[in-house]
Amino acid sequence: MTTVAAPVGDAPGGTRARPARGSRRRPSRARWWVVLGFLSPFVIGFAVFVLYPVSATLYYSLTDFQAGSYRPVQFVGLRNYRALFSQSDTFWVAVRNTVWMVVVMVPLRTGWAMLTAWVIIRVKRGRAVYRTLFFLPSMVPVVAAALSFIVLLNPVGPLNRLLDLVGVSGPGWFADPAWSKPSLVLMALWASGNVMVIFSAAMLDVPRELYEAAELDGANALQKFRSITLPAISPVIFFALLTGMIYTFQYFTEAFVASSSANATSSSNDLIGYPGNSLLFYSTELYRQGFSYFKTGYASAMAWLLFLVIFAATVVFIRASRRFVHHAGGGR
Amino acid sequence: MFKSITGAAAVTAAGVLLLAGCTSTGPTSAEPDTAITPGASHKPATVTVWTFNHLPNEVAAFKSTLGRLHTKYPWLTVKFVPNKDDAAYAKAVAAGNPPDVFISSTPDNVAKFCYNGTVADLKPYLSSAGVDTAKTFPPATLVYTRYQSKQCALPLLTDAFALYYNKKTFDAAGLKPPRTLAELTAAAKKLTVKNTDGSIKTFGFVPRSDFDVNRYAFTGAHNGSDFYGKDGKTTFASDPKWQQLLKWDQDLIDYYGKANVQKFVGRYQPHADDAGNPLLTGAAAMEFDGEWHVGEIASEKKDFDYGVVPMPVLDGSSGTYGAGSTLGTVAYLSAGSQHKQEAFFALQQLTTDTTFLNTLADTVYNIPTTFAALKAWDKAKDPHWKPFVDIFQNPDSSYKTLTPAGVEDMDTWRAFLLEYEQGKVKDAAAGLAAVGKKIDSLNSESGQ
């Protein structure tokens, strides 16, 4: 049982005692300037690189603004938002592909990281070596990783040649609409070392005595995993699923690189979504609308919709997590 | 309270003004829309030229010409910036600091930039400089550099597309190059070779629209149709030849089987322009490709025995045989340039200088874009290059009419073609009508 010490100054009942009105000393003006001076790098950086661009996209999303156009910008209200749902076929293709990745890739990546962590902590000799080997791919830059997989999964690349040796005709991987998304999933599994490390730390943190008690009660390995390990690491599972979901909703680089490298003949605009729009994700469609079609207002509306969807999904997921996430001390 | 409300209102108003300010206002320039007289003394000027070109030999060709230009006109200095695409250009314009001249590989955006006022209409400058576009540039180039009555870009090398075929296999089969799509299908079937396990060793011809540059075989030039009619609307629903073109495409794909075609496209798409090209490796007996492939073959497999002929046309459209899609690099004068006269002078030199055009054409394996440069070009009579030059100069050759939708109309059309080829469109006529309506709607929204 863990106990948390009450913060200094808290009232015994758990509510913080409010200081008497006027008893707090007002900081001097000079002190404010010192505080602001120390804060200014963050405040300026945040205002210029976050607050301003975010506010700008909100404004643009309500206009017909096109980057590079000298035509007067018209306020169009919610027209861009309505157009998302009513006009574009590719918008729905992008939504479907993105949801596919969230539903398939995120759980698989989490499960795979959990499995590798579970296996690695059971290795008696050379555990650190295996852990390093599994972790290393996650340190490879995304573009380099994607390019490596494109070489590896080339229709006449090393993997398919290996498959040929055993009499299996390999698929087209990134060049085949049916296999392009599974190829990206494979790449995500390969690079799941960072999640694996967190899982292995969480698994090693599970008190030994719980397993010993379960063994005395005759529990087998599966029962121990289900009843002890899983509840104990549920906060990590929640973390992996939540961050994975947020990342996958914004999935861009891997898809963009995979599409462009599998289609060496086309101009930059033709690369997006190749093959056959199977790698057209929400963020790549947003990029195309904004930087190939220059529809800045429309692309901004897409960005805001994505923000709202991720925000809503996060809130729902956090609320739903109360049912399956066990916190130390027995709470959920 | 009042103080904080006033403060918040002031901050909000400042924010809105700042945001509104970023959606750039129209350019202003004190200079008249006239050309400067070459050779006349002139105060020193620096002009910025951006281009999509980035390969070392391309950059060297540009730098050499700009160096010659500076020697001849010492007052003119050109700041040359390679590797810039249309997105970078649009961002520079939005930021209020565009290059004076921009060279782009995407002619589809000419009408968009023109309609949006991003680039200047060159007509007054051309007229002042005494350049007669009709006498300087072949007509095919004017289709993709104009929007309505405005000359919003000048051509700087072009592409043309034709049918490459393996002469040895044609001779062995006793075949002559096809002139119609029906003949092409018959030849493709005859030249298809299967392995003992039933897989395909050599494809006669793979028509799928997303392979290599096949999309340019579907712009109307080879089925005698206009992409857009005189009313500016698509002709997919009204012109039955589009259905015939789709049927030809689907029949040939079905002959090979969708899975086999997918395998071919996946296998050879990354190698369309290198030594692994299917025509060079014997995996295909014919292919539709651009003129640059002649240069690639010369460097990759010099002894390869091949021929080039115009792309066959739909049966009944034989009158258009010899024509094709032609489109190429375009050079803009930014409307926001602060040195329009000097920038136009540099632009004029780059797009009309015969030595530069022919050197760059030899470097990037493209076709020069002025009558004078074509006349002086030693490759114009080469048996492999001549068909492309002929296609380029054919009066029926052109690209589709450009619209302010930019590349979006072609993207929509190509997405439809691919869906059709994948068997997702059951009723071709209804599908064509729907995609036509969609493109018309896109054009209408974008200001057409």
Compute the nearest-CA separation of A139 from chain B (Å).
28
| Two tokens, residue A26 | 């007002």
Amino acid A331: pLDDT: 53
Compute the nearest-CA separation of A150 from chain B (Å).
11
Between chains, do B267 and A155 touch, taking CB under 8 Å as contact?
A: yes
Q: pLDDT of chain B along its 448 residues, tens only? A: 445 545 544 555 455 545 555 555 566 666 677 777 776 678 899 999 999 999 898 899 899 989 988 998 999 999 999 999 999 999 999 999 999 999 999 999 999 999 999 999 999 999 999 999 999 999 999 999 999 999 999 999 999 999 999 999 999 999 999 999 999 999 999 999 999 888 899 999 999 999 999 999 999 988 889 999 999 999 999 999 999 999 999 999 999 999 999 999 988 988 888 888 999 999 999 999 999 999 999 998 999 999 999 999 998 876 789 999 999 999 999 999 999 999 999 999 999 999 999 999 999 999 999 999 999 999 999 999 999 999 999 999 999 999 999 999 999 999 899 999 999 999 999 999 999 999 999 999 887 6
Amino acid present at B33:
D
Handedness of CA B76, B79, B84, B87 (dihedral sign): negative
Give the pLDDT band (50/70/90) at residue A7. Answer: very low
Q: Where are the alpha helices (DSSP H) in B192-277?
A: 241-256, 258-268
Amino acid present at B82:
P
Q: Which residue's entry shows tokens 């108003």?
A: B13
Q: Where are the alpha helices (DSSP H) in chain A?
A: 29-46, 52-60, 79-86, 89-120, 127-135, 142-152, 158-165, 180-190, 193-204, 208-216, 221-224, 230-249, 253-262, 268-271, 282-291, 296-321
Between chains, do B93 and A68 touch, taking CB under 8 Å as contact?
A: yes
Between chains, do B117 and A69 touch, taking CB under 8 Å as contact?
A: yes
Flag whether residue B259 sits within 8 Å of chain A, measured between CB atoms. no
Amino acid A124: pLDDT: 86
**Residues 6 or more apart whose Cβ sits within 8 Å of residue A261:** A146, A147, A150, A174, B270
Between chains, do A276 and B418 touch, taking CB under 8 Å as contact?
A: yes
Amino acid B2: pLDDT: 47
Restricting to B residues 413-432, those with a Cβ less than 8 Å away from any Cβ of A are 415, 418, 422
Compute the nearest-CA separation of A74 from chain B (Å).
10
Instruction: Determine contact, residues A314/A249, Cβ cutoff 8 Å.
Output: no
**Cα–Cα distances in angstroms (integers) from residue A178 to residues A149, A181, A279, in the given order:** 17, 7, 10
Query: Could you report the per-residue pLDDT of A87-113, keeping only the tens digit for each?
Result: 777 899 999 999 999 999 999 999 999
Q: How far is Cα B156 from Cα B373, in angstroms, rounded to an integer?
A: 11
Query: Could you report the per-residue pLDDT of A142-185, keeping only the tens digit for each?
Result: 999 999 999 999 888 899 999 999 988 889 899 889 999 999 99
Amino acid B402: pLDDT: 95
Between chains, do B90 and A67 touch, taking CB under 8 Å as contact?
A: yes
Q: What is the largest CA-CA distance in chain A?
A: 84
Amino acid present at B388:
F
Nearest to A276 among B15, B411, B422 (CB): B422
Amino acid A10: pLDDT: 43
**Cα–Cα distances in angstroms (integers) from residue A276 to residues A91, A174, B277, B292, B329, in the given order:** 14, 11, 21, 25, 26
Q: How far is Cα A62 from Cα B15, in angstroms, rounded to an integer?
A: 15
Instruction: Determine contact, residues B170/B237, Cβ cutoff 8 Å.
Output: no
Identify which of A64, A86, A67, A68 has the alpha carbon closest to the alpha carbon of residue A77.
A64
Contacts across the A-B interface (CB distance below 8 Å): 117
Q: Which residue's entry shows tokens 């565009």?
A: B98
Restricting to B residues 75-94, those with a Cβ less than 8 Å away from any Cβ of A are 85-87, 89-91, 93-94
**Residues 6 or more apart whose Cβ sits within 8 Å of residue B269:** A175, A262, A263, A264, A265, A275, B210, B211, B212
Best residue of A71, A176, A284 to probe chain B, by most B CBs closer than 10 Å: A71
Q: Which residue's entry shows tokens 């249309």?
A: B86
Between residues B9 and A237, which one has the greater pLDDT? A237
Q: How far is Cα A42 from Cα B152, in angstroms, rounded to an integer?
A: 45
Identify which of B285, B310, B290 has the alpha carbon closest to the alpha carbon of residue B165.
B285
Residues of chain B positioned with their CB less than 8 A from the CB of A52: 18
pLDDT at A56 exceeding the cut of 70: yes
Compute the nearest-CA separation of B20 from chain A (Å).
8
| Phi, psi (degrees; rounded to nearest 5) at B443 | -65, -40
Amino acid A21: pLDDT: 54
Give the pLDDT band (50/70/90) at residue A1. Answer: very low
Nearest to B269 among A71, A264, A277 (CB): A264
pLDDT-wise least confident of A21-30, A223-232, B122-131, B196-205: A21-30
Identify which of B111, B116, B123, B121 has the alpha carbon closest to the alpha carbon of residue B93.
B116
pLDDT-wise least confident of A35-49, A173-187, A317-331: A317-331
| Two tokens, residue B368 | 């020069």
Q: How far is Cα B350 from Cα B99, in angstroms, rounded to an integer?
A: 15
Between chains, do B270 and A262 touch, taking CB under 8 Å as contact?
A: yes
Q: How far is Cα B21 from Cα B96, in angstroms, rounded to an integer?
A: 10
CA B323 to mean position of chain CA atoms: 16
Amino acid present at A177:
P
Instruction: Determine contact, residues B123/B70, Cβ cutoff 8 Å.
Output: no
Amino acid present at B375:
K
Flag whether residue B198 sits within 8 Å of chain A, measured between CB atoms. no
| Two tokens, residue B34 | 């006239």
ipTM for the predicted complex comes to 0.88
Flag whether residue B8 sits within 8 Å of chain A, measured between CB atoms. no
Q: How far is Cα B182 from Cα B170, in angstroms, rounded to an integer?
A: 16
Give the pLDDT band (50/70/90) at residue A8. Answer: very low
Q: How far is Cα A105 from Cα A187, in angstroms, rounded to an integer?
A: 10
**Residues 6 or more apart whose Cβ sits within 8 Å of residue A100:** A181
Amino acid B364: pLDDT: 92
Amino acid present at B357:
L
Q: How far is Cα A259 from Cα A151, in angstroms, rounded to an integer?
A: 13
Between chains, do B89 and A68 touch, taking CB under 8 Å as contact?
A: yes
